[in-house]
Amino acid sequence: DSGVTQTPKHLITATGQRVTLRCSPRSGDLSVYWYQQSLDQGLQFLIHYYNGEERAKGNILERFSAQQFPDLHSELNLSSLELGDSALYFCASSVGPGSYNEQFFGPGTRLTVL
């Protein structure tokens, strides 16, 4: 158990819908990262927040957005869902923003878009 929690574990929805994925980092960690893992693209970085501020964006679609709240939990919002958005979404946390900080990954949310 990494100490990072993600809810829900599974999500099934229809095209065009909007969903919210939630992540609670390990106690004391200020950084939250979101990653998407699909069969054809592998693990891809989406976005990084540090202490409530957006720090970096990766291959995140405009239909997706995220935020980190004052209590440091984070939410990833996915809207106008398409079949291709079906994937595993992982959240990771680390103590600081530094590249040498170990990242702790949650168990993931499996999103299925029908």
Residue 67 interacts with another protein (CB under 8 A): yes or no = no
Using the contact rule CB under 8 A, the part of the chain among 13-21, 55-63, 66-74, 79-87 near another protein is 55-63
Q: Say which amino acid occupies 48.
A: H
Q: How far is the CB of 90 from another protein (least distance, A)?
A: 5
φ and ψ at residue 86, rounded to 5 degrees: -60, 125
Query: Is 7 a residue that touches another protein (CB under 8 A)?
Result: no
Supply the minimum distance, in Å, between the C-beta of residue 71 and another protein. Answer: 21
DSSP 85: G
**62 phi/psi in degrees, rounded to 5:** -65, -25
What's the farthest any 2 CA atoms get from each other in the chain?
A: 39
- Spatial neighbors of 79 by CB under 8 A, at least 6 apart, are 18, 63, 64, 65
Asked if 80 is part of the footprint of another protein (rule: CB under 8 A), the reply reads no
The H or E element containing residue 36 is: strand 31-38
28 counts as binding another protein under rule CB under 8 A: no
> Which of residues 78 and 91 has its CB atom nearest to another protein in the complex?
91
Residues near another protein (CB under 8 A) = 2, 4, 31, 33, 35, 42-45, 48, 55-56, 58, 90, 92, 96-108
